[in-house]
Structure 1
């Protein structure tokens, strides 16, 4: 016995076992693919570097996603990454940092102009959400995930620049009034990237 069920998270294929009556349910499609198909996924890559502060700071993080107060939206993080163009002046660890819900809004110093809808290719931020190349946060965030690190060795060592990235598969979320940013343990000059989904808060 085999039949298919189309759900809002992709295609599921339950399979029955005639011997003992058990049923195995397996997902036949990618959760990420389903999110893209709904038109809710966006990507952004910084086109110029930002020099971050040393440690978790409210000023000049590498890249910021801010879910605005009262947006009625939930931001779901799929991927975050960073890369250097030259060797770091001092070794650093990069973090995904979380700024808790705060009544004060993130100050948009330099809004990103490179936010793209992953399904349509249309540019522009989703409603209720700001994506900022340079921002001032309402308070210092906390580190919630490691994104790799860089040494001060010349980038010609190993024939590549320093970079780090991580798939989160939707397991990090932002409620209204909170934010994600990429930060470094010592000052670093980095490019940054996010892939995220925006859905209505239910």
Structure 2
């Protein structure tokens, strides 16, 4: 068995410490960028919904400006965003390389996508429920927390799952330009040194991450669906 593993994965065996380290870096990138994007994206998504036409805090200038910013940032390919964000990344975290240097572009690339997902999720809330809450004298903030967010929990979980799965791919892309993690490992060894078994292992690990995220999301959706 050991001989077979050595034959199929010769480079993996010698690079296990680096694979463990890269896996930990990718998990850290997903966790940090994901949590920051989650909270900021929720806020922006709520603002998009409540300031939209005919909604509880309708405000055309705020909605127009925020929507345009989100549309513009969403249209920028992530690989270009990585390069464009270098000055900002250095200003915030002090470096534009390694795991630490990946946080800013990952957050910038994830927030617009997640905010739009949250807007779509909250927009599905029954208008009749909102009107009933207004008729009972609920304030806008009460409607946001007790109606929009509470009624949209399954859709919010679904949006979060989709976003975190997308974030796994972004971390790999960030690694391709020195961002650390499994993407960096695959490029340095699998691509530049033709150690194909390293590439296969990194792909398998990323697929495991995606399936864990998707599975956890599905379980939560089932438990929170009325």
Band the TM-score falls in, shorter-chain normalisation: under 0.3
Higher strand content, 1 or 2: 1
- Normalized per residue, which structure has more helix? 2
Q: TM-score, normalised by structure 2?
A: 0.23
Q: How high is the TM-score relative to the length of structure 1?
A: 0.25
Larger Rg: 2
